[in-house]
Amino acid sequence: MIARLRQRFDKLVWTNQLHAYGLPGRILTNVLRYLVALIRDMFAGGLMMRSMSLVYTTLLSIVPLLAFSFAVFKAFGGEDALEPVLNWWFETMGAQGAEMSHQVIALVQNVKVGALGGISLAFFIYTAVSMVQKIEESFNYVWHVAKRMNFARRMIEYLVVLLVGPVLVIIAIGMIASLKSNTIVQWLLHFEFLGPIVVATSKMTPYLLVTGVFTFLYVYMPNTRVQFRSALIGGLAAGFSWASVGVIFATFVVYSTRTQLIYSGFAVAITTLIWLYVNWLILLMGAQLAFYHQNPAYLRIGRREPHLSNTMRERLALNVMYLIGRAFREGKHAETVQSLAEHMKIPSVTLTPIIAGLEEDKLLTTTESEDLVPGRELSRMKLADVLAVVRDHGETGSYREPKWEKLIDSLGDKLDASIADAVGDRTLADLLDEGDAR
């Protein structure tokens, strides 16, 4: 019975059965698909594991990160802005949050960077950078990106997050403060109808700020091109979830007297760990939603590794090299993994092992800007070499040749010979010429 119910539910979600009810049915179908995909991914363990890892990294690097932020705040005359931000962030923890915020600020203010030795300073900087690196790795996991960005680009982006991020926070806090003290705003508060709207808007501003931060991270951190619309949808969902879960968590803290009785002095630390874990999980779930919005082909398969037949792998390899060669010959644009996936309407994770094999055999090269270009002259790139990559790539081999039956060995030789006859000595340039002629 459970199997039948599951089969009916899958049919309801993954078919167009609800489309018969018009627009509401189509909307409900999309909502159900995203919810099922997100819940499935959360309980699969990958996002939870990375959220726990980020909690550990946060505890290790929170003081160096805030020390950098405090230094930037101080340079711009906003050293008093750090404590209100922490107080607001830990507000859901009640009195424990205020205590935690005060202790962190005291630790940051006691840090004397000039008094640190060479090794200590290097470790101090490493822990700050490792936080940003962990976030990048988690987002790359969500976006199915196997290849990290190059070292120079990573350092530039890390510095942007560490140095420019606090400046943006100062600007945002200044804007919020100016809005509250603006003469026009104070004048609008006196009106019976406009006053509640202004108050509600001012209360929503911090949550809109969180949404903006989430959206910025979704666009900026993954090593792939993220559409702003998808990032904004993920940011809005994560921001709304963060606000809603914050209210629930605050209620939990107020009524969780048993936690304080059991853990005593450790209650603040335990509550902080839970709150950090929830925050990171919400951030990654928002990134997962942004990924699914941009790549709806993944909604049903999730993170399952695709299993391709040999025929499919051969056709994909030839198609990939044909598209890359055509783009290179025309010189109008360069192909990327994402553009190839969009053009062929196939998930990029399916192309990754094939492209890795082609790159390993020097048939294509990835540039600094993640563009895919031919690895050698098109007229010297035989189609037989392309097919050989997908037919042989990934084979571990053995210490000695397997013992084939003579009949099977002969049949295998005939199959190999027929494939060699089909492509002959044709090169990628010949294939492109045929395409141009057609």
Reduce the secondary structure of 65-133 to three states and give it as a string: HHHHHHHHHHHCCCHHHHHHHHHHHCHHHCHHHHHHHHHHHHHHHHCCHHHCCHHHHHHHHHHHHHHHH
* Assigned token pair, 203: 């209360």
Cα angle 82, 104, 208 (rounded to 5 degrees) comes to 40
CA distance 189 to 199: 8
Residue 135 pLDDT > 70, yes or no? yes
169 in Cβ contact with 206 (< 8 Å): no
> Is residue 411 within a helix (H) or strand (E), and if so which, with residue range?
helix 406-423
Instruction: Classify the phi-psi angles of 424: left when phi > 0, otherwise alpha if psi is within -120 to 50, otherwise beta.
Output: left
pLDDT at 181 over 60: no
pLDDT band at 420 (very low <50, low <70, confident <90, very high): confident
| Maximum alpha-carbon separation in the chain | 96
For residue 357, pLDDT over 90 is answered with no
Residue 7 predicted with pLDDT over 80: yes
Q: Which of 81-95, 221-235, 322-336 has the lowest mean pLDDT?
A: 81-95
Would you identify the CATH topology of the domain 310-437? Arc Repressor Mutant, subunit A (1.10.10)
> Exposed (0-12), middle (13-18) or buried (19+): which is 45, by Cβ within 10 Å?
exposed
Residue 190 has pLDDT above 80, yes or no: no
Please, are residues 38 and 286 in contact by the beta-carbon 8 Å criterion? Answer: no
CB-count exposure of residue 202 (10 Å: 0-12, 13-18, 19+): middle
Phi, psi values for residue 372, rounded to 5°: -105, 125
Of 39-43, 82-86, 196-200, highest mean pLDDT: 39-43
Predicted local distance difference test score (pLDDT) of residue 306: 66
Summarised one tens digit per residue, pLDDT across range 41-73 is: 888 878 888 988 888 888 777 766 666 666 666
d(CA 371, CA 366): 6
Q: Where are the alpha helices (DSSP H) in 143-227?
A: 151-159, 165-181, 183-188, 194-220
Asked if the model's pLDDT at residue 1 lies above 90, the reply is: no
pLDDT exceeds cutoff 70 at 344: yes
Which of 57-61, 156-160, 384-388, 421-425 has the weakest average pLDDT? Answer: 156-160
Average pLDDT over residues 357-376: 86
Q: What angle do CA 182, 186, 192 make, to 5 degrees?
A: 150
* Burial of residue 124 (number of CB atoms within 10 Å: 0-12, 13-18, 19+): middle
In terms of C-beta distances under 8 Å and separation of at least 24 residues, what long-range contacts does 67-74 make, across chains too?
Answer: 67/108, 67/111, 67/113, 67/124, 67/128, 68/128, 68/162, 68/163, 68/166, 69/162, 69/165, 69/166, 69/169, 70/108, 70/109, 71/113, 72/163, 72/166, 72/167, 73/166, 73/170
**Where is pLDDT greater, at 158 or 11?**
11
Enter the tokens of residue 48: 């939870």
Which residues of the chain form CATH 1.10.10.10?
Answer: 310-437
pLDDT class of 152 with cuts at 50, 70, 90: low
The closest of 347, 365, 343 to 355, measured between CA atoms, is: 365
Structure tokens at 405: 């039956």
* pLDDT value of residue 390: 82
Closest CA to 217 of 149, 143, 283, 148: 283
Question: CA-CA distance, 211 to 286, in Å (whole number)?
Answer: 10
Q: Tell me the β-bridge partners of 373.
A: 365
Interior angle at CA 122, CA 120 and CA 124, nearest 5:
70
Task: Show the tokens assigned to 62.
Answer: 């929170």
CA–CA separation, 176 and 81 (whole Å):
12
Residues 6+ apart with CB under 8 A from 402: none
**Interatomic CA distance for residues 133 and 155, integer angstroms:** 10
What average pLDDT does this structure show over 229-239? 92
Find the mean pLDDT for residues 184-201: 57
Residues 257-300: pLDDT tens digits? 555 555 555 666 777 788 888 889 999 999 999 999 988 878 88
DSSP character for 363?
S
- Whole-structure pTM value: 0.68
Residue 243: pLDDT band with limits 50, 70, 90: confident
Say yes or no to pLDDT of 211 above 90: no
- The pLDDT, as a whole number, for residue 351 is 83
- Mean residue pLDDT of the chain comes to 76
